Structures are given as structure tokens and as C-alpha cells.
């Protein structure tokens, strides 16, 4: 075979790599900068700066010079390195998904980053830091060629059907109904603490101000509300920032999504690689009949942790719909898992005995609490018993009403979550293992937990049903075992 | 009986010896740790501390080791595996019981490991890995070395046989002939290399 056409990256990759190197060195640089500020003459910290900069440029340049890639036959080949040579071959039919991302620097330079993921781990198997946009699209086309049905001759290349598009209103609601506010407030609190420590702000100022007010509790309440509003606004802002222009399209058996205001992301995932479809709802979203939809794959399907770390949170990286009406979730899920009829699905509840199991562990817990409180508030501690028991009865009851499962059309589904709610849908052909688990308390009541795992490594992809009747758990496991083993032989890859 | 292992294949009885030795070792370690912690607490405490913390620590460590040793028989009775036509099942746990099933077609690789004590007893540990899960999906702790090797052969042979029946990975039509061809006799181990 003749030497294939090996390509180089775009020269902009030197700059991008340099930024990356500087980012990893930022801590060292910070220390150096502080040394500089101290300004002892004759220490020559500037020289260290220059040396570090030079080393950064050199390593970025070497990476660029030594990096070559090509699509040969059925594989993507990447050559890398000058002293230690690395030659990586990725079979095209092992590719799980392809991410094309643009950070702010990428956009300024007019290039994109391409990441290719196989089922091999939590990070992208291969990353091309900077490629010409057209070339990236061409590469994507060639890499995904074997996954879809062979193109019909004369068929016009379309952009695909749009399955979902986020309107600004939906993005607003996505941010407004997410439970991010608390996390942001916590972060804000931490920031204030740091600022106070650094002497930039005197935290006593606030405390004193409050103490001087006529009604201190009102002032605290006011601050709390203010923080909550600020967190809320930030949450909405970040939803716009992350999901701006979110669009999900389907073409030739593949899903493609695009989103992002500053850091733009484009993912392509073959539909037959979908392991689990997940619908999640926060408590507020449940009241408003809204939901989020996620697709779990065996690749990390993430938007490049190394480069835009803040963005690639586990909650965002598998999202195929940041927010939609619950009523239209059925039609979208039908596009992703064609066998699934969402609206007609029958759900089975878990065992009523789950309430009793909750009560039993609550009795033990309440005794411990009472024992502890006895030393503090004497006989009042006995009040803990009905309080804990009542709470346990309530959550047990709610859980019994909530948790459910459903098995039909070759898809196993679970429903869970007392406050926020999750629906999981997993095709039996994707099962990697089924586990029936029984804790001592569950054994006492004849209950068991069933867990269904696919090749997706994300923890949220495990399909779990708590407190099933023991016989139900066993027969379900048997059924899944038999059907999925059959299917597994037909598709030995499994992902 | 809940999640019973009746009719399942039990491990090699010698594994009880292995577990006993392991219980002994961990008992000694725990006794030392608890003893040291207790001694430190006692030596730093003032006179008001009348309880012999160091002694209690040592006693707790010993007790845990003894309990572990006593339970080896029960543990053995509750551990078992089953090699079905299409699946592999493994059950374990005395109090917290687990039964796990893995479709045999999903098995990615099978490892045999043996530590120094296990080697003396001629035992191996068989770890079965599937896709997408870090670590082994199923670890069968104590099989006779021959049985372990035979189990590995059985599990991998079926996987390879069914691979051949299938036309190409994933059964999807590939326009160009892929450069990377799997040699006919190679089992899953080859596949893993290919993906790595």
C-alpha cells in the first residue's frame, strides 16, 4: 500500500497548545509573579519567566511538528512524538462519538478541536487540538461512514431533521428550574470567605451592619433572599451561556447536537451506540411539567474536560435536551429508541413492604437520635421518635408511589426519585451485567434491588430498581439474562 | 430461601484455608492498628480516663479477626457460580447478598491471578471483565488452578465461536474492507488489544 496522505494540524494549534501549557503552569507562574512583586533586586525572576515561556513555546511547536493524522482504510491513524514515537490506530467501527468543540481562542483563530471517543475510558481517545473547520467536517464524514446505512446513490446530503431546538424561553426556564442556585450560593459564600481572608473585605462589616439594624432577623432574611436571587440569576445566565443555540438533529441514524455561546460544542453520536436514555426532572420542573433528556453512551460524550473543565459537568455532558415539555418527551425518545412507545408504557410499582422496611430502619435511627439527645434535652428527646418515624413513613410511602419499573418492547425502564425524578430507558441488547442485591433488612422483608448496567461508564447510567418483591427481582433478572444473552450474540460489540 | 445458591457450583473447598489465612493476617493488622490507636489515646489522656482503651482496642481487633475466621464456612456456603449456555452468574455475600449475571457474549477478557498463598494452595482467582465498567464485573475468588484455566477457555471459546458466526464487528455493512482483520483463532484478548 502506498504511503497514505498524512495531514498536519492547523498551525494555530501551536498557540492553542501554548495556552494549554500556560494553563497547567499557571500555579508556578503565580508563585513566580508573587516573587517578582516582592521585587528583591538581583533575583532575576524575569529570567525564569522567559525560560518557562520558551519551554512552553518549544513544546507546543514540537507537538505541532510531530503530529500527523490520516484515515487509512477502516482506521484513523495518529502519529505523534519526536523522541518517543507514538502511533495510534483507532478502528473506525469502534468510534463511539465525535466531538467538535470551539473555545473562545478557537473561534478567534477560526479553527476547531476534534475529539474522537471509543469505549476505552473516561477521556477522549484521540484529540486533534486545532483543525480547519472544513477539514473537521470532512474528517467527521469519513469517520462516521461505516456506521450509517450506505448512502443511496444520488441522495442529496441534507442537514438532517431537527428533533429539538432550544428557544430562549426554554433556556431561561432551564436555568430557572435547575437546582443549581444552592451550589452557586455555596460557591459565592466560599468566595466571600476567601476575600475576607485575603483582607480585601472585612466580613465584620456585614455582621456589624446587621447588628445595628432595628430588626436583625429581617436583615438576615433580606440577605438570604438577595443571595438566593443572585444564585438564581447566575443559574439562568449559565444556562444561556452553556446551551445557547442548542440544536439536536438526526440524519442517517446519527444524532448531532450543537450548543454553546462562547465555547461551542458539536457532538455526533450513532443512534445504535445509545446505551441509556434518561429523563430527569427537578422538583420545580415536575410541577411545571418540564424535563431534561440525556443520552448515555460508552464514550464519555463530554465536551472536552481538559479544555473547558467547568463546562463538562456530568449533568451537562449527556444532555440532548436542556429543557422541554414533558408531553413532547415521548416523541423525542421515540426518535432515539424507535422501539419505545413512551405514552403506552405500563409501569409496575415496587413492593408495598418498602414502607415497612423504611420504618424499621427509622426505628433504629430514632433510638440512636433519642439516645444522643437525651443528654441535651432530657425527656424532650422522646419527641424525636414520632418525628423520625413520621418522616420515614412519609418518604417510604412516597418512594413506594414513585419507584417503578417497566419491561416491554425489549426495553427495561425504571422510574425513581421522591423529589426530583428520573426515568431510565435501556434496551436489553445493551446489557453488560444484571445484579440482584439484598441487604439484611431487605432479606427480612423478602425484598431485593435490581441493577442493570450497560457499557456507559457514567454512574447515572445504571438502571436501578429498589425494593422489588424478591420473586419479581429474580424473574426480571432471569428474563433480562435470557433475552439479553440472545441479543448479545447478535451484536457482540455491545456498544 | 432468599437469593439462594442451591444447585450452583461451589468454589474449591481449599479456598476456606485461603480465607482463614487472610482473616488471620487482617486480624493481626487490625489488632495492631486498634492497639496503637488505643495506646496513643490512653497515653495522652489525663487521670479521668479509667477505661483501658488500649486493651479494648486490642480486644476489638482480635474479635474482628476471629469473627472473620468463624464466618469463612458460612461465606463458602453462600458463594457460588453458574456457567450457563449464554450467561455466567456469580453469587456472594452472607449478610449483603449479591447475584450478578453477565451475558457470555459481553465478556471482554478473563484474567487469572494468584497471590503467594493462593499459589501454595494451587488456587486461582478468575476475574471476568465486561465493557464499560472499571475493574472486573465478576471475580471468582478461589478455583483450582486447572478449573480456572478450563473456565477461562470455555468462556473465551464460545465468545470466539459466535464472533465468527457474525459478519463483521457490530454486524454493520462496511463499505471498504477494513484493514484491521481479526485472525480467526484469536479470542477476546485480541479484541482488547485492538481497542487499546
B contacts of A470 (beta carbons < 8 Å): 2-3
User: Taking CB atoms and an 8 Å limit, are B137 and A433 in contact across chains?
Assistant: yes
Phi and psi, residue B13, nearest 5°: -55, -25
Nearest to A491 among B95, B134, B171 (CB): B171
Nearest chain B residue to A433, by CA: B102
Nearest chain B residue to A88, by CA: B196
Q: How many alpha carbons lie under 13 Å from residue A373 in its C-beta half-sphere?
A: 14
CA distance A250 to chain B (A): 19
Nearest to A72 among B99, B177, B179 (CB): B179
User: Taking CB atoms and an 8 Å limit, are A494 and B131 in contact across chains?
Assistant: yes
CB A185 within 8 A of CB A258: no
- Grid cell at residue A21: 501549557
* A92: pLDDT strictly greater than 70: yes
- In the CATH scheme, what is the code of domain A12-143? 2.30.29
Interface membership of A361 toward B (CB under 8 Å): no
Nearest to A438 among B89, B97, B133 (CB): B97
Phi and psi, residue A304, nearest 5°: 80, 85
| Better-predicted residue by pLDDT, B165 or A464 | A464
Written in H, E and C, the secondary structure of chain B is: CCCCCCCCECCCCCHHHHHHHHHHHHHHHHHHHHHHHHHHHHHHCCCCCCCCHHHHHHHHHHHHHHHHHHCHHHHHHCCEEEECCCEEEEEECCCCEEEEEEEHHHEEEEEEECCHHHHHCCEEEEEEEECCCCCCCEEEEEEEHHHHHHHHHHHHHHHHHHHHHCCCHHHCCCCCCCCCCCCCCCCHHHHHHHHC
Sort B56 into a burial class: Cβ within 10 Å, 0-12 / 13-18 / 19+.
middle
- Grid cell at residue A275: 446505551
Strand A247-251 and strand A433-438: the pairing is unpaired
CB A114 within 8 A of CB A140: yes
Interface membership of B172 toward A (CB under 8 Å): yes
Q: Helix H segments across A180-215? A: 180-197, 203-212
Cα distance between residue A43 and residue A47, in whole Å: 9
Can you list the positions of beta strands (E) in A196-297?
A: 247-251, 254-259, 264-270, 276-281, 290-296
* B8: pLDDT strictly greater than 80: yes
Nearest to B100 among A434, A488, A489 (CB): A434
| Interval B46-65 mean pLDDT | 83
For chain B, the straight-line distance linking the first and the last C-alpha, in angstroms and rounded, comes to 44
* A414: pLDDT strictly greater than 80: yes
Nearest chain B residue to A484, by CA: B103
| Better-predicted residue by pLDDT, B185 or B79 | B79
| Interval A389-412 mean pLDDT | 88
Cα distance between residue A463 and residue A276, in whole Å: 8
- Grid cell at residue A251: 440524519
| A61 closest CA partner among A14, A104, A112, A102 | A14
Strand A421-427 and strand A433-438: the pairing is unpaired
* A152: pLDDT strictly greater than 70: no
User: Taking CB atoms and an 8 Å limit, are A436 and B162 in contact across chains?
Assistant: no
| A426 closest CA partner among A461, A465, A476, A475 | A461
Which A residues 257-316 touch B at CB under 8 Å? 272, 275, 298
- Grid cell at residue B117: 498463598
Interface membership of B1 toward A (CB under 8 Å): no
Nearest to A485 among B104, B132, B134 (CB): B104
Highest mean pLDDT among A60-64, A151-155, A455-459 belongs to: A60-64
B contacts of A96 (beta carbons < 8 Å): none
- Grid cell at residue A143: 469517520
Residues of chain A above pLDDT 90, percent: 7
Interface membership of A460 toward B (CB under 8 Å): no
User: Taking CB atoms and an 8 Å limit, are A443 and B169 in contact across chains?
Assistant: no
Nearest chain A residue to B96, by CA: A439
User: Taking CB atoms and an 8 Å limit, are B173 and A75 in contact across chains?
Assistant: no
A84-98, A147-161, B12-26, B115-129: least confident range: A147-161
Cα distance between residue B101 and residue A485, in whole Å: 10
Residue-level pLDDT at B32: 92
Which A residues 84-103 touch B at CB under 8 Å? 89, 91-94
pLDDT, tens digit (0-9, with 9 covering 90-100), for A176-194: 887 665 666 666 666 666 5
Which A residues 430-459 touch B at CB under 8 Å? 431-440, 443, 446, 448, 453-457
Amino acid at each position: 500500500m502506498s504511503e497514505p496522505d498524512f495531514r498536519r494540524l492547523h498551525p494555530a494549534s501551536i498557540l492553542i497548545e501554548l495556552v494549554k501549557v500556560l494553563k497547567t503552569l499557571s500555579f508556578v507562574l503565580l508563585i513566580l509573579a508573587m516573587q517578582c512583586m516582592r521585587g528583591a533586586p538581583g533575583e532575576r525572576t524575569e529570567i525564569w519567566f522567559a525560560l518557562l515561556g520558551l519551554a512552553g513555546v518549544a513544546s507546543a511547536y514540537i507537538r505541532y511538528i510531530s503530529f500527523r493524522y490520516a484515515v487509512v482504510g477502516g482506521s484513523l491513524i495518529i502519529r505523534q512524538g519526536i523522541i518517543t514515537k507514538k502511533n495510534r490506530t483507532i478502528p473506525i467501527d469502534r468510534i463511539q462519538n465525535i466531538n467538535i468543540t470551539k473555545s473562545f481562542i478557537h473561534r478567534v483563530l477560526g479553527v476547531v478541536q476534534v475529539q474522537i471517543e471509543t469505549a476505552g475510558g473516561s477521556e477522549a481517545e484521540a484529540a486533534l487540538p486545532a483543525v480547519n473547520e472544513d477539514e473537521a467536517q470532512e474528517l467527521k464524514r469519513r469517520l462516521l461512514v461505516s456506521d450509517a446505512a450506505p448512502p443511496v446513490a444520488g441522495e442529496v446530503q441534507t442537514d438532517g431533521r431537527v428533533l429539538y431546538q432550544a428557544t430562549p424561553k426554554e433556556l431561561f426556564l432551564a436555568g430557572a428550574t435547575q437546582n443549581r442556585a444552592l451550589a452557586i450560593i455555596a460557591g459565592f459564600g466560599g468566595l466571600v470567605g476567601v476575600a475576607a481572608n485575603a483582607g480585601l473585605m472585612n466580613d465584620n462589616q456585614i455582621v456589624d451592619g446587621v447588628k445595628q439594624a432595628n430588626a436583625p432577623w429581617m436583615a438576615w432574611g433580606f440577605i438570604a433572599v438577595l443571595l438566593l436571587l443572585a444564585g438564581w440569576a447566575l443559574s439562568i445566565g449559565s444556562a444561556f451561556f452553556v446551551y445557547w443555540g442548542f440544536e439536536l438533529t438526526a440524519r442517517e441514524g446519527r444524532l448531532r447536537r450543537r450548543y454553546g455561546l462562547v465555547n461551542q460544542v458539536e457532538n455526533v453520536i450513532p443512534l445504535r451506540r445509545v446505551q441509556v436514555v434518561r429523563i430527569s426532572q427537578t422538583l420545580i420542573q415536575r410541577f411545571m411539567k418540564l424535563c431534561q433528556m440525556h443520552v448515555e453512551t460508552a464514550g464519555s460524550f463530554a465536551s472536552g474536560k481538559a479544555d473547558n473543565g467547568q463546562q463538562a459537568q456530568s449533568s451537562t455532558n449527556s444532555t440532548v435536551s436542556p429543557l422541554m415539555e414533558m408531553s413532547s418527551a415521548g416523541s423525542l425518545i421515540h426518535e432515539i429508541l424507535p422501539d419505545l412507545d413512551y405514552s403506552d408504557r405500563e409501569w409496575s410499582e415496587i413492593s408495598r413492604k418498602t414502607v415497612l422496611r423504611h420504618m424499621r430502619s427509622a426505628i433504629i435511627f430514632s433510638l440512636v437520635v433519642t439516645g444522643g439527645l437525651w443528654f441535651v434535652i432530657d425527656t424532650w428527646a422522646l419527641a424525636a421518635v414520632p418525628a423520625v418515624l413520621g418522616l420515614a413513613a412519609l418518604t417510604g410511602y412516597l418512594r413506594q408511589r414513585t419507584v417503578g419499573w417497566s419491561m416491554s418492547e425489549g426495553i427495561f425502564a425504571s422510574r425513581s426519585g421522591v423529589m426530583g425524578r428520573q426515568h431510565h430507558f435501556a434496551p436489553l441488547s445493551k446489557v453488560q451485567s444484571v445484579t440482584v442485591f439484598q441487604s439484611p433488612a431487605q432479606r427480612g422483608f423478602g425484598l431485593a434491588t435490581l441493577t442493570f448496567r450497560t457499557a456507559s461508564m457514567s454512574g447515572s447510567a445504571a438502571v436501578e430498581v429498589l425494593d422489588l418483591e424478591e420473586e419479581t427481582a429474580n424473574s426480571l433478572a432471569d428474563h433480562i439474562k435470557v433475552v439479553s444473552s440472545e441479543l448479545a450474540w447478535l451484536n457482540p460489540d455491545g456498544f | 430461601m432468599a437469593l439462594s445458591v442451591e444447585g450452583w457450583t461451589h468454589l474449591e473447598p481449599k479456598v476456606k484455608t485461603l480465607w482463614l489465612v487472610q482473616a488471620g493476617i487482617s486480624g493481626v493488622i487490625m489488632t495492631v492498628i486498634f492497639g496503637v490507636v488505643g495506646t496513643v489515646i490512653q497515653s495522652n489522656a489525663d487521670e479521668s480516663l479509667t477505661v483501658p482503651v488500649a486493651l479494648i482496642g486490642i480486644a476489638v481487633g482480635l474479635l474482628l479477626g476471629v469473627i472473620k475466621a468463624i464466618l469463612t464456612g458460612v461465606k463458602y456456603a453462600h458463594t457460588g457460580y453458574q456457567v450457563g449456555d449464554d450467561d455466567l452468574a456469580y453469587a456472594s455475600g452472607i449478610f449483603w447478598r449479591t447475584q450478578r449475571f453477565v451475558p457470555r457474549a459481553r465478556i471482554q477478557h478473563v484474567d487469572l491471578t494468584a497471590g503467594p498463598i493462593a499459589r501454595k494452595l494451587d488456587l486461582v482467582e478468575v476475574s471476568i471483565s465486561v465493557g464499560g465498567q472499571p475493574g472486573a464485573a465478576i471475580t471468582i475468588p478461589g478455583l483450582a488452578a486447572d478449573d480456572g484455566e478450563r473456565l477461562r477457555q470455555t468462556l473465551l471459546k464460545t465468545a470466539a465461536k459466535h464472533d465468527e458466526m457474525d459478519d463483521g464487528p457490530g454486524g454493520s455493512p462496511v463499505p471498504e474492507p477494513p484493514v484491521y482483520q481479526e485472525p480467526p483463532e484469536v479470542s477476546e484478548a485480541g479484541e482488547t488489544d485492538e481497542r487499546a
